[in-house]
Structure formats: C-alpha cells, structure tokens
Amino acid sequence: MNKLFAAFLALFLVVAVPMARAQIQPIEPLDRIVAIAEDDVILQSELDRAVAQIQAQYRSNPQQLPPLDVLRSQVLDRLIMNRIQIQRATSTGIRVTDNEIDQAIQRIAQSNNIDITQLRGALARDGIDYDDFRKQTKETLLTQRLQQRIMQGAGNVTDAEVDALLATGNVKTGEIHLAHILIATPENASVDQIKTAKDKADDVKKQIDGGLDFAAAAIRYSNAQDALEGGDLQWRPANALPEAFVQIAETLAPGQVSQVIRGPNGFHIIKVVDKRGGGSKQLVTEYHARHIMIPVTELVSSAEAQKTVADLRRRIVDGKEDFAKLAKEYSKDPPTANLGGDMGWFPIDRFGTAVATTLGSLKANNEVSQPFQTDVGWHILQLLGKRESDRTVENQREQARELIRQRKAEDEIESTLRQFRSDSYICAVDPVYVTKERQTCSGAAIKKAESK
C-alpha cells in the first residue's frame, strides 16, 4: 500500500493489552492518560497503537529503530502536535462534512486500486475499526485545511521578488530526491545549546560514516517531522527545496551524504538519494484551437446542452457553416465567444483533462471534435494548429514564482506551528515523558482532563 494509506493506518493498529496481572496484584485500568495537549488528552492506548504501527513498518529491519523510549517520545510529540492543530482548526471555524470524508476515503481506496468494500476488509484484517478510520480521516482533512489557511497568510509573490530571484541565477530545473536529518536548536538558543546540538550532529555524521544506515540514523536522532519516515523528502522540484539543500545536492552524487550544515533551526545532514531532469532549453508543444460551449444550468439540462452542440457540429461539418460565426452566436463562454471561440495558443493541459484528451484525438488542422462534457457544460473543439514553443523564460519565471511561494508557505507553517506549541499547555502525566517542552501535569489539569 502506498504511503498515504500507510499513514492513515498509523494510529489504528491494535496492540494487545494484558487484562490483569496475577491474582495477588490489583487489577490495573486498561487505559490511562499519558499527556495533555491544551483541552485534549493522549491515551496510553493511542500511543501504543501508533508505536506499534511504526514497529510494524520496520519489522524486517528493527535495528533501524531507536530505543523504545526514544521512539515512544517521538511518536508522542507527533500525536501532541496533531491534537493541537485539530483544536486550532475547529476553534477557528474549519469544518469537514461527512460527504467530504466519504470522498477522501474513496480517493484512498482508488489510490490502492481497491474499492470501499475491499478497503473495509483490509482495515478489519489489521484490527482497525472503520469508524475510527473515518475519524482519523476527518482529523487529517482538518489539519490540511488549517495549514492551507496558514499558507494564505504568507502573502503574494510580486514581480519584483521574481526578478530578484532570477537575477541570482538560483532558479533550478529538474527534480531531486533527498533525505535529511535535523538536530534542532531551540528558539533563542544559547551558545551552550548550539554547541550541544552541533556535537550531536557531528556524532551522528560519524556514525553514518561508520556504516549506520541513514534512514536508521534519521529515525533514531532527527527532530524533523519526517524522522519516522527515515527523513525521506521524496522527489521534489529543485526549486521546492531550501536553496542550501540544492547547493549541497549539486556537489554530491546519488548515495552520498553531506557534512553537517548549519541552518536557521538547527544542524542538518543531507543525503542525495537520486536526481533527474534538468537542462537549459524547455520546449513545450502548444495547441491553437477554438471551441463552442453550451453550459448546463437549471434551465438547460445536460441532454439539451449535448443536443445543441451536436446540432452545431453537424452544421459545421456537414453544412460547411463557419465555426467562428456560430461560436459568436451560440457559445456561452464569455472570454472566447466574441473572438469566434478562439482559445489562443496553450499547452495541452491548460484547460483540464477533458480538453486535453479531446485535443489528443484530433489528427489534422481544422478537424472538429465530437461533443464532450466538462464540469461547466458541453463543448465542441476545432484544432487550428500545433507548434513547438520555447518556454524557457516563461517557465523560469513560473518556477521562480512557485519557489518563492513555497518558501513563504513553509516558513509561515513552521513558524505558526512553533507558535501554536509555545502558546499551548502541554504536559505529561508519566514522568517518563516529561521533557524540556513537556512539564509535569498539575493535579488540576489531570482532574479536568479526567472529567471530560
């Protein structure tokens, strides 16, 4: 199953819990609170299930996992941040409907080439309750929408910013597959804290040079959110990665690992998994076409719209009437109707899958398509020409704009989530989980949590 499906399974694997000890021992409760995050709690059973799923993923290579206490602490941090984000989402009015949950689950099933019935069966075989799966799906959608809202606060990208980035020559083409390890430093870190983090990063690098698997090192030591995935950043456009990462990747061959790098939030170790793409000149096949569109409305049914465009096609193909004249008279697409339906020159995927598929079926100039439907209505399309266009400059500007937008969004999300955590009440009930960022829960906080 793909990683998205595995991620949804992460919190739901069932771990057997001893029902009782020997008769001379008092019976202990089956569940208990291990941490409090603002107004919500993390239960022992939730932590157990999440840890069990990580262990299951690495069943064939258990040596890659850190000691159990470290793993449980990492997983607990992930659960805490998830709870905080869900609370922020709901408190700011973000909602997810049952229909949206159904659609998301349908996409998960399709991505694994199974139907809903088969998905239910797969969940049941793994001991996962379907209602719990729906709940986790809802929470995932909530956190995604919260982060989308945060990204909106990153601001627009101006032409001046694009020009400035292009002037540096740092707009790259191609894609890079990286993995990384982050040894984080706290905000406003002291000299001693920075030195401690640097020493730890140097030690991790030494272990990797000595033969420790990079993914195992990431799981064991990294403070990044993707640590439990072995620090894998997956394939990304070069422009979607931090500039420092790209510069390091350019000096390394696939499989090589960087030296320790200082960053704004700590120390990084980068591994280049692979590279692909690139090149200076970017040729794109462009199409010139025109169309007639009849929308589906409350007054015009889909069948009526389809019949109208079919009649217009017959008038053009069989009656030899002028396409542009009929487009001006009948088409309801405001940007193109007055131009005789002219759509100009465009890449094949500019107007969506239906238009692209139809264009691909037309073999000769002036050929008129069969009627086809999009989400706005019924269309016919006439191919006027095809050309190879050098869009290097345009693509570079688009890439630069996307790079700036991505960097702004990532910075905004990271700083906002750090602020969420800083502003939230986070504590651990069990002393095992108390850290610098998790204080011991007060008696009042525990009583309040237990009363809910």
The pLDDT assigned to 373 comes to 93
Instruction: Decide yes or no: CATH 3.10.50.40 for domain 283-390.
Output: yes
| 272: β partners | 178
Backbone angles phi, psi at 179, to 5 degrees: -130, 155
Q: How many C-beta atoms surround the C-beta of residue 418 within 10 A?
A: 13
pTM of the complete model: 0.53
Q: Which stretch of DSSP H or E encloses residue 205? A: helix 191-209
Residue with tokens 């290579």: 61
CA distance 173 to 369: 36
- Cβ–Cβ < 8 Å for 33, 73: no
Class level of CATH domain 174-278: alpha beta
**CATH number corresponding to 3-20+29-155+419-450:** 1.10.4030.10
CA distance 373 to 354: 7
The pLDDT assigned to 279 comes to 56
* For residue 287, pLDDT beyond 60: yes
The pLDDT assigned to 278 comes to 62
CA distance 83 to 78: 9
* For residue 28, pLDDT beyond 60: no
Q: Which long-range contacts (CB under 8 A, 24 or more apart) does 247-253 make?
A: 249/176, 249/178, 249/275
* For residue 23, pLDDT beyond 50: no
Residue 412, token pair as written in the block: 């905004």
Could you please report the per-residue DSSP string of 57-120? Answer: HTTT-GGGS--HHHHHHHHHHHHHHHHHHHHHHHHTT----HHHHHHHHHHHHHHTT--HHHHH
* Higher-pLDDT residue of 358, 410: 358
Q: How many C-beta atoms surround the C-beta of residue 261 within 10 A?
A: 17
CA-angle at 203, arms to 200 and 206, nearest 5°: 155
Each residue's pLDDT tens digit, 343-394: 999 989 889 889 999 999 999 999 999 999 998 899 999 999 999 887 777 7
Could you please report the per-residue DSSP string of 302-335? Answer: HHHHHHHHHHHHHHHHTS---HHHHHHHH---HH
Query: Domain residue spans in the chain?
Result: 3-20+29-155+419-450, 174-278, 283-390
The pLDDT assigned to 30 comes to 59
Each residue's pLDDT tens digit, 214-253: 999 999 999 888 888 899 999 887 777 887 888 888 899 9
pLDDT above 70 covers what percent of the chain? 91
Same fold, 174-278 and 283-390: yes
* For residue 7, pLDDT beyond 50: no
CA distance 102 to 313: 39
